[in-house]
Amino acid sequence: MNPSVYDEIKNLVTEAQNKNTENIDTASVAEILQLMNNEDSFIPSVIAGEIPYITEAVNILVEVFKKGGRLFYVGAGTSGRLGVLDASECPPTFGSDPEMVQGIIAGGYRALSAAMEGAEDKYDQGKEDLKAAGLTSNDVVCGIAASKRTPYVIGAVDYGISIGAKSLYVTCNPREQFDIPVDVAICTVVGPEVVMGSTRLKAGTATKQVLNMLTTASMIRLGKTYGNMMVDLMMTSKKLEERSKRTVMMITGLSYEDSAEILKEANGHVKTAIVMSLSNVSADVAKQKLKAADGFVRKALEA
């Protein structure tokens, strides 16, 4: 046993025993599920209290993205998988470059489907993995660690800070115990888990919601939606093809057939098709109007 690690872990909120579920092993299936649901019900209010910090983080991301910078999520285990998940969902949802948001997980991509717990203890590897990914001072590093203490994640964030990159941190332990000098820390303290130390539960749920907010709000502020509809998506699957047609139909009033035709003229790009239809211009002119409007459909139409 490593006494220093033991002392550090035993005092973490995420490692504490939940008094509400002490007898869960004697409960019926329905009672177990109710206990889990009761614990999950606290998560939205906890996240609501962190919105001022999430706002700061989104403002940083928007400015970095506008300058061509990138976001690197770094985590181990569940935290790492959630970062990779959020990053991988950005291109199909918002038409973003796959390089724009990237997820790095301790142990590499093998760790996405297999537990590689020892990888999280390698402080220097966090730095090396970010160096290999080409992190620069124009980028953002977002550490994700429910416990805050994960050496791999801290090593990556320390490296990012050392070269002048912006830094964020998402954790589930209290702000007063947070001592890493990042630009913004988001501390969603959801309390002890239903099963002691299993941070794939409440901590994982809270983390997923925060990452959703970070990228979704950033992409909206970059003009990736029109109202609440995805308009920067590309028709790379049958589902996205039909969603694209439906979106054009809803915004422009065109028929299914006409929407399909104008999307074809727009090379499958929904934004371009919308501006073409509502401004009655060619694809080239629509693209010029969008560029002048920084990619915002509404501004392009008003212009």
* Residue 130 belongs to domain with CATH number: 3.40.50.10490
Residues 122 and 259 both lie in one domain: no
89 in catalytic set: yes
Q: Which of these, 182, 69, 79, 81, lies nearest to 134 by C-alpha position?
A: 69
Please state whether the predicted TM-score (pTM) of the whole model is above 0.85.
yes
Percentage of residues of the chain with pLDDT beyond 90: 86
Selected catalytic residue, list 15, 89, 241, 265:
89
pLDDT of 13 strictly over 90: no
Domain that holds residue 277: 225-302
pLDDT of 301 strictly over 50: yes
Q: What stretch of H or E contains 44?
A: helix 43-49
pLDDT of residue 1: 35
pLDDT of residue 270: 95
- The number of folded domains in the chain is 2
Domain assignment present for 162: yes
pLDDT of residue 4: 65
pLDDT of 234 strictly over 80: no
Residues 57 and 197 both lie in one domain: yes
Query: What are the CA-CA distances from residue 121 to residues 9, 118, 149, 181, 272 (Å)?
Result: 13, 6, 10, 20, 48
pLDDT of 3 strictly over 70: no
**Mean pLDDT along residues 14-25:** 91
Percentage of residues of the chain with pLDDT beyond 70: 97
Secondary structure (3-state) at 217: helix
Domain assignment present for 79: yes
120 in catalytic set: yes
Site of tokens 């973003």: 96
103-116 exposure pattern, b = at least 16 Cβ within 10 A, e = fewer: bbbbbeeebeeeeb
